[in-house]
Amino acid sequence: MRSIRSCNLARTSSQRGFALLWAIGLAVLFFMLIELMLIDSARELKEAQRFRSRMVAMVLAENGAELAALRIADANRQFYDPDPSTDWQGTIDGRMDKNEQSGAFVIVATGETAGTERTKAEVRVEGYVEGAPPAANIVISFTRHTP
């Protein structure tokens, strides 16, 4: 029969491992692509954790400044320096120095995050108080946020 005679065993035996080599090569390329995607996603996760830590530290520092500014118009308080408070997100620390003669005040507050990415931030607020309580007018000259 003609179809049986056209099947030459010598010709097919020389190409036997060709498909296997292609399959192995494609598998290696596929696994290399997966590894590159894993490396890239791990890098992006680390960047996202650093960004979150910076934002949490900034919010903690701002909260510390707000706590220090609670008694800003109180004539009986020249300074406010509470103990730092710590929770699961981090540490808040705030301090206010106030000059009664000029009414000037300086608030310095820091926040430090807890967790794997420890980050610190600082908020500095300077200003003055016009008038006497309870009708005091509080003027903020400038604020500086330092991540």
Distances in Å between the Cα of 57 and the Cα atoms of 52, 67, 118 are: 8, 15, 9
The mean per-residue pLDDT over the stretch 35-56 comes to 95
pLDDT at residue 144, as a whole number: 94
pLDDT in tens, 71-104: 776 656 555 556 788 889 999 999 888 887 888 9
pLDDT at residue 2, as a whole number: 56
3-state secondary structure of 17: coil
Round the average pLDDT of the chain to a whole number and report it. Answer: 85
pLDDT at residue 112, as a whole number: 95
pLDDT in tens, 91-145: 999 988 888 788 899 999 999 999 888 999 999 999 998 887 777 788 999 999 9
57 in Cβ contact with 113 (< 8 Å)? yes
- Residue-wise DSSP of 39-64: HHHHHHHHHHHHHHHHHHHHHHHHHH
CA distance 17 to 21: 6
Lowest mean pLDDT among 10-24, 29-43, 62-76, 79-93: 10-24
CA 36 to chain centre: 24
List 142's β-bridge partners, or say none: 126
